[in-house]
Amino acid sequence: MPFLASASAPTNKDMQTVLILGGASAVGTAAIQLLRRFAPSTNILTTCSPKHFDHVKSLGADQVFDYNASSIFSDIAKVVPTGVNGIVDVIGTSATNTAEYMKLFGPAEHKMFAMLTTGPEINKEHVPEDVTFNMTTMGQIMMKGLAAHTMRNLKEAVEEGVYKVPLDIEIVGTGLEAIVGGLKTSLKGVSGKKLVIRF
């Protein structure tokens, strides 16, 4: 949010089409809503499992693709034959298919690739020189002092009704003793909701 709201943020002209990888995740659903708010005419594409298609569309996504489909790259290319201007990877998907994702970029002057590091890092050798690359972690955001500013803005956006809390919340326990049970639940596979432990 602080980057999108700044004077130097990409405009609709720069970011005509943006692909968000992991649109049903907590960060992905937030990215869809914030991009829609600050760059309203941007064509937002995203990936997720089919059961979340309707949800991410309700938040502002224009086109949704099954991230497990073997034809995902050709499916995206058919929808945007001129290519995308930006890719935002919030779940690390592009770390294993970097070269294929980079082929989705079009000939636009402004091309950006952003990745929230959640595990394996991307092979930078596959990122073309004309693509602005930004890889960050939640720790870096905290160190830059952006977290407090972002949370204030999100609180206001929720109160104004322009931002929806993106995922259902499941409370899995209270206190430190609930952590082990919460991790076990998470390892079984959690989709479309956020596990929370109260303290």
The string of pLDDT tens digits covering residues 157-198 is 788 887 787 777 889 999 999 999 988 988 888 877 788 898
- Distance, in Å, from the CA atom of 113 to the CA atom of 140, rounded to the nearest integer, reads 17
Domains of the chain plus CATH, in order, are 2-141 (3.40.50.720), 167-199 (no CATH)
pLDDT surpassing 80 at residue 19: yes
Closest CA to 90 of 112, 53, 52, 119: 119
Strand partners, 86: 18, 112
Torsion angle of C-alpha atoms 90, 66, 29, 58, degrees rounded to 10: 160
Task: Give the model's pLDDT for residue 76.
Answer: 96
